Structure 1
Amino acid sequence: MGIIIKEIRIRNFRSYQSADITLSENCVLIGANNVGKTTLLQAIQVAFLRGIRVSEEDIYVELNELLPKSRKAIIDVLIVPVEKNEEGIKEFDEKWFEHIGELRSEDTVTLDQFLAIRTIISYNPLKGEYDIERKALIDWPTTEAAENYNEYKKNRITDKVLQALPVFYMDAKRDISVEMKDRNSYWGKLVRDVGLDSKDIEDIETTLDTINNEIIHKSPILKHLTDNLSKVSRTVSTSDSSIKINPVSRKIKDLNRGIDLTFKDEHSERFPISNHGMGTRSWITFLTVVAYISWKIEQMEKEEVPFHPIMLLEEPEAHLHPQAQRKIFQQINDLSGQKIVSTHSPMIVGQVDINDIRHISKIEGKSNINFINTANLEGKDIRKIKFEILKSRGDLLFANAILLCEGETEEQAIPTFFKEYFHCEAFEAGINIISVGGSGKYKPFLRIAKDLNMKVYILSDGEPKTIKEVRKLVKAVYDEDEIAEISKGIKFLPDGSDFEKYLINAGYAEEISIAMTEILGDGFLEQYISAKGNTSNGSRPTKDKCDTCNQFIYEKSFRDYSNDDGRVQALLDCIHDNKTAYSSIIASTIIYNRQTEKIPPMIEELFIEIENDFKILIQEDEAVNI
């Protein structure tokens, strides 16, 4: 690949008031619905495709603002060579050098060459509509100076220049059975000219004519129909009129009208493609585009013409099962050229290189673009993000916020409390509730939240060591001026408690006993005390030190369940030993059996923070996230 589109800057285009995005060879756009992924792909089309129509709908406008006619949308594209010369300077190869000509520029410091194309969408008062104008920038200004920069090359951006940068766009509604009927589709473009020379065409068309005549002659129905339709010459005022039925196309140029696709697997009959499901039809549409691009690349190579295909693909996972989603993404990566893919699939996200991910979000009506900053991360941190998040929890990348907790009990209980408090599921509010599996495992999740501009909340155990560790991790990820805001959403359980101990201390022991009875049966606590009472509880350090090694002396401890405090401890030990079964029902048991304080106070405090941040409307029957 001789060149690459390195960066795109967008100003005042639809939902993008101001946004910059760096691109890679295989760039993947992620984010919730209606945040600006499709708009970004459309901006790229406006920058490179000829004949696109624009209107005032393409200009960014504030809420309740009257669009000023003087406002312009700008899309700047930076194209750079990939290879360096012997002196370490990036230069366009011979083909691109000649193709770009005087449009190319040179960095005054590094001497690296580049091509910067600006697309301007502005109102034309004479025509009463918006126009598109493309110019080559002399320099690549800083992002702050981009909008007001106005130094351009004298040479025009010609159609010839853009033809070497073709855009191939596929939306999520692709269907090969529809594409086959459209002469302007990629299928239509491929089969329109089958690449035969004139002598072969003449011979084949003679054969096709013979086949048609034989079919009509041997079919009494078609012969009868032909004879009757021939009567048209009696009413049409032309001396040399005639009509023919063509069971098979008589002209090579018309073959595409009658081409059909059939498909079968190992154990089924062959059926027309239109009879198959949308998954198969969508995939074949994609493969048709692949075939078209590879055909064009081959043609351009023969003609020694520079060619950098840009493929824009929306939701390649549409209609495909998980394994097929992984396969189609591999096929996308194998394509020549530059690919920009938008997806909602955690399966695809799990395969993406972490540096290829671009996260799109929308805040107060403005689309923003973020990425995971790996510049200051060690290899082990990158691996943790890759394997603990992208491969196993890729769905959290599409959330508005994440609520982190330490254990399995919290992860299963908090969603139930959330629904009771907000009258909606956490995922409906765009919030993922995640157990990180221990106090030392927050960092990759915090890094993702910071880089992708997500709100983060933490419900942590309250042991002094845990509190210190969590605060240390937050400080390692967030800047000093961010920590105060982040800390509002971090709640530590009081009195050094873990979640189970906190619930008991907060007055929910009776509800916990009801839940445990449902799991273990009546008399579970007495049975547990009988089995575990006075048994070893491990070794604990004393205040005394060894005279020889100066280490604290440990002594064995035993479970004492003999008094009221002992029974409470027995209940706590019992639920710790049965976390797997207990976790799934404790929250619903508390809610069902309590008349007041159905939400534990510390969790309610956390929900109030979420409510303040996201303005979730609390209603009796439903909740709406606004």
Structure 2
Amino acid sequence: MHISRVQLVNYRNFERADAKFKSGVNTIIGENGSGKTNLFRGIRLLLDADQLRWAYRLQETDFYRGLKSWRGHWIIISLEFDEVSQDEAIQALFLHGTGVVEQSVVGRATYNLIFRPSAAVRQRLGELAEGDQAALQQILNGITIADYETVFTGKSTANFTDPDAYKTLVGDFEAVSFPKELNPPQLGGPIPRVLSVSKEICFTFVQALRDVVSEFQGQRTNPLLTLLRSKSGEIDPAKLKPITDKVKDLNQAIEDLPDVGEIRSDIRQTIRDTAGETYSPANLAVRSAVPAEAERLFQSLRLFVGETDDDYEGAIHELSLGGANLIYLTLKLLEFKYQKAKQACANFLLIEEPEAHIHTHIQKTLFDRLAYADTQVIYSTHSTHISEVSNVENVNVLSRSGSRCEIFQPASGLDPGQILSLERYLDAVRSNLLFAKSVILVEGDAEEILVPTMVKEVLGISLDELGISLINIRSTGFENVALLFHDDRIRKRCAIVTDLDASFFDITPNEDDTAAVAKLKLKAAGSAEAGLARQARLNSFKAGNSWLSTHFAPCTFEVEFIRSGNAEAAVDSLAAVYSSAPTIRTATEDLRSTDPERFGKRILTMAENIGKGWLAIQLAKRVTTKTRIPPYLLEAIFTAHRPLSRAVLSNMIAHRLRAHDDPALLPPALAQSVRDHAAQYQRGEIELASLLDVLAKALPGDVIIEVLGQA
């Protein structure tokens, strides 16, 4: 039996979200604050016996924070199980309350936590006249959290994440239309509190490893003590009696030492001398604190570990952070094994961000080896190394948009061939696109190296700060990765950037051409033809998909870099390419030429001589605030990152003003006017058009004007 689906409605940072899981190992990935911990907590409220009591103590703060008002709304957490165990006990439970019966045997089951207004409140809402907002507000204003109830149901048929289904079950607050039936059948039947799925399963939660040392010090949280307590109940008391007798004898021997007796007498006498007989303790003893009870003896045991080969074994607080975390994780897994041995009808292991301080090789190995038989494992992680080895079919991607979080399944709707191609691309480098807010796909090393540098130097903000992952596909097979970004899969923006490879010189065949020139023209014509075919293919591929955009360099990236006005960066790099002074002089003239044939051939010759990647490194060293970003790249960046926030734009403007710090070119008064307008824009006091007017006068032709055109 495994969890196949989790629906969250109005719960914390989820307005409505739908997570899909498979048997075996599953991975949940997402940025900070995207709801990974809340998703786990939702599951635990239904399946973790330690959390069950909190299901009856939900508060206003547990409602989705984007609601105008929580009053009257419901929190719904719904689990769907598949391949339900045929064990008699679990079949009886699901047949009684949660199962969907197919041919008298339960194969699929639902189990729901519903936090809703009491029946009396729901009845009053159902009696409202449609459209009577005044009466509705009067009822809602009087609702407190004490008017809410928690119920568990099974055999539900509703898709709770469907807005129309929510209106049918809960009500339409805008239209003031509420159901008169208090317990519609789509909600399923109530499950009595005496029946609990958590009692029939093995469930272990391993929380994020934030402060392992403090966890080992707590009586309740120490995983070693949990293991020892479970074992102490299984040991024959007769075997422990000789040990406890020895401890009692040891304690008595310590207490009978003459020095101990003398100190006890001295303490008693000193108290009497100080406080007098009336206020002195009636009795006082000095005894050994070594416990003589079997359970307390077990609790006194501590773990000592040696990380190196010098035979030294240190306490947990002496270990490295990674070593301590690994030990903690190991003990929690052992706890799970002990529970699993009790032959529960289903086994669930939830692990929250196991990668903290753990070496990348251990992360991969750990993930690879945690495939316990008959166990569903669900990870949450920030690690690209774990996402690299995850099966993309078993991945849920969490994404944050303002106060709202969404859940995506990247393999949804893909056929096996597409999934196989996607798996091959999602290595440790490219898998970071699953963590990004938006993505730019490029075809080569030059763009991967130079674009982030240009954005940082020219605009004063990094791609990372914009939430953009720039992914080098190292080919023009963009579709294999771009298919991720779709309404059915990951709803994030993806900009595809590639070259049209149009010729920058005359490629008309001429009978006077030498063999070498004829071959060059033929090759250039073939590249241009392939570029147009690629443009048509990609535009067709992204048609009707609002998450994808295509952006084309007219020729190649290197040529467009020079054409945009960056010849001097290439001139400064010539010494890293050529050793001959005459060649450097000729190359300088070529690069500074306004003839595309001259500067185009020269920059591509340089790339061929030392490699595109190495040339990009040399050019990146020479990027400054005066570097020009090719227009098609600016378009791609600010199509992927949309909308452009007022704060980010204001920071870019401040950076561009610092780049124009020459009073002769930008008078201080005009610069201050720009700053004032930027501050007003950031505060929302003026709109973009007003800011653009001032910038156009102060910084004519500056890159920030182009950026504003994309905003």
TM-score of Structure 1 vs Structure 2, range by shorter chain:
0.7 to 0.9
Secondary structure at 1:448's aligned position in 2? coil
CA distance in 2, matches of 1:109, 1:96: 17
Equivalent residue for 2:100?
A: 106
What does 1:185-334 correspond to in 2, within 5 Å? Answer: 185=221, 186-193=223-230, 194=232, 195-217=234-256, 222=260, 224-225=262-263, 243-264=285-306, 265-298=308-341, 300-301=342-343, 306-334=344-372
1:235–1:342: structure 2 CA closer, same or farther, 3 Å change rule? farther
For 2:629, the aligned partner's letter is I
Residue 135 of structure 2 is aligned to residue 72 of structure 1: no
The answer to whether 1:454 aligns with 2:492 is yes
Alpha-carbon separation, structure 1, partners of 2:597 and 2:363: 56
Q: Distance in 1 between matches of 2:108 and 2:446?
A: 55
Q: 2:545 aligns with which of 469, 475, 482?
A: 482
CA change 1:567–1:130 in 2 (3 A) is: closer
Distance 1:242 1:509, change over 3 A: closer
Decide whether aligned partners of structure 1 residues 316 and 154 sit closer, same or farther in structure 2, where only a CA change above 3 A counts: closer
Query: 1:418 and 1:227, CA in 2 relative to 1: closer, same or farther beyond 3 A?
Result: same
List aligned pairs for 1:599-610, cutoff 5 A. Answer: 599-610=629-640
Do 2:12 and 2:65's aligned partners in 1 also have CA atoms closer than 8 Å? yes
Q: Which whole-Å CA distance do the structure 1 matches of 2:619 and 2:210 have between them?
A: 47
Q: Secondary structure at the match of 1:404?
A: strand
Q: Is the 8 A contact 1:179 1:188 kept in 2?
A: no
- CA change 1:242–1:327 in 2 (3 A) is farther
> Is contact 1:183-1:192 (8 Å) kept?
no
Do the aligned partners of 2:348 and 2:376 also contact (CA within 8 Å) in 1? Answer: yes
Distance 2:87 2:322 in 1: 41
User: How is 1:529-540 mapped onto 2 (pairs within 5 angstroms)?
Assistant: none
- Matched to 1:591, the amino acid is T
Contact 1:136–1:157 at 8 Å: present in 2 too? no
Change in CA separation of 1:225 and 1:315 when aligned onto 2, cut-off 3 Å = farther
Instruction: Report the 3-state secondary structure (helix = DSSP H, G, I; strand = E; otherwise coil) of the residue aligned with 1:591.
Output: coil
| 1:400 equivalenced with 2:402 (yes/no) | no
User: What do residues 31-75 of structure 1 show as CA deviations (whole Å, max 9, x unaligned)?
Assistant: 111111111111112223321132101111327x2x242111001
- For 1:446 and 1:110, locate their aligned partners in 2 and report how far apart those are by CA, in whole Å: 45
Q: Does structure 1 conserve the Cα–Cα contact (< 8 Å) formed by 2:559 and 2:600?
A: no
Match for residue 183 of structure 1 among 211, 219, 240: 219
Match of 1:22 in 2: 20
Shift of 1:320: 0.8
Q: Is the 8 A contact 1:118 1:134 kept in 2?
A: yes
1:481-500 residue pairs with structure 2 within 5 A? 481-482=544-545, 486-487=548-549, 490-494=550-554, 497-500=555-558
- Aligned pair partner of 2:464 in 427, 433, 438: 427
CA gap 1:584/1:58 in 2 versus in 1, 3 angstroms: same
Say whether residues 1:346 and 2:384 are aligned partners.
yes
Instruction: Give the distance between the partners of 1:605 and 1:580, measured in 2 at CA.
Output: 23
| 1:509 paired to 2:567 | yes
Amino acid in the other structure paired with 2:322: G
Question: Amino acid of the residue matched to residue 304 of structure 2?
Answer: T
With over 3 angstroms needed to count, the CA separation of the structure-2 counterparts of 1:470 and 1:235, relative to structure 1, is: farther
Decide which moves more: 257-266 or 169-178: 169-178
Residues 232-252 of structure 1 deviation map (CA, whole Å, 9 limit, x = unaligned): 99889998x664522522111
For residues 144 and 469 of structure 2, the distance between their equivalents in structure 1, rounded to whole angstroms, comes to 52
Q: Find the residue that maps to 1:132 and give its secondary structure.
A: strand
User: What amino acid is the match of 2:454?
Assistant: F
Q: Distance in 2 between matches of 1:146 and 1:223?
A: 78
Per the alignment, residue 45 of structure 1 pairs with 44
Letter in 2 for 1:509: A
What is the CA distance between 1:446 and its match in structure 2?
A: 0.3
Inter-CA distance 337–465: structure 2 relative to 1 (3 Å threshold):
same
Alpha-carbon displacement from aligned partner over 1:554-592 (angstroms, at most 9, x marks no partner)? xxxxxxx9x995676344323332223211132453536
Relative to structure 1, is the Cα distance of residues 175 and 601 closer, same or farther in structure 2, using a 3 angstrom cutoff?
closer
Once the two structures are TM-superposed, the CA of residue 263 in structure 1 deviates from its matched residue by 0.7
Q: Deviations over 1:506-547 (max 9, x none)?
A: 443343222223443562735998xxxxxxxxxxxxxxxxxx
Matches within 5 A, 1:368-383: 368-373=406-411, 375-379=413-417, 381-383=418-420
Q: Contact 1:54 / 1:130 at 8 angstroms: preserved in 2?
A: no
Which segment drifts farther, 7-16 or 131-140? Answer: 131-140
Shift of 1:224: 4.5
Give percent identity, aligned residues only: 19
Query: Aligned in 2, Cα 1:418/1:127: closer, same or farther, shift over 3 Å?
Result: closer
3-state DSSP of counterpart to 1:323: helix
**Amino acid across the alignment from 1:520:** Y
Aligned match of 2:475: 438
- Mapped to 1, the partners of 2:380 and 2:633 lie a distance apart of 36
Change (3 A) 1:422 1:575: same
Label 1:585 to 1:470 Cα distance change in 2 as closer, same or farther (>3 A). Answer: same
* Distance across 2 between alignment mates of 1:286 and 1:42: 19
Query: Which amino acid is 1:28 matched to?
Result: T
Alignment partners' CA distance in 2, 1:238 and 1:364: 63
Q: Pick which of 350-359 and 368-377 moved more.
A: 368-377
Structure 1 residue aligned with 2:531: 466
1:557 matched residue in structure 2: none
Spell out, residue by residue over 1:353-403, the C-alpha distance to the aligned partner (whole angstroms, 9 max, x if none): 121110001224221111122643343x43332232234422221111111
Instruction: Output the CA distance in 2 between the equivalents of 1:206 and 1:429.
Output: 68
What is the alpha-carbon distance in structure 1 between the residues aligned to residue 424 and residue 471 of structure 2? 15
Question: What is the aligned partner in structure 2 of residue 81 from structure 1?
Answer: 83
For these two proteins, the number of residue pairs brought into alignment is: 563
Counterpart contact for 1:175–1:281, Cα < 8 Å: no
SS in 2 for 1:481: coil
What amino acid maps onto 2:26 in structure 1? C
Return the alpha-carbon distance in structure 2 between the equivalents of residues 318 and 129 of structure 1: 42
Calculate the aligned-residue CA RMSD, in Å. Answer: 3.5
Residue pair 2:6, 2:77 contacting (<8 A) in 1 also:
yes
Partners of 2:535 and 2:599 lie apart in 1 by 32
Q: Give the letter for the 1:41 counterpart.
A: F
Residue 566 of structure 2 aligns to which amino acid in structure 1? Y
Amino acid at match of 1:258: S
Give 1:569's match in structure 2, choosing from 601, 611, 636. Answer: 601
Structure 1 runs (4+) greater than 6 angstroms displaced = 108-111, 229-239
Higher helix proportion (structure 1 or 2) = 2
Separation in 1, partners of 2:314, 2:633:
57
Q: Is the 8 A contact 2:638 2:644 kept in 1?
A: no
Q: Secondary structure at the match of 1:333?
A: coil
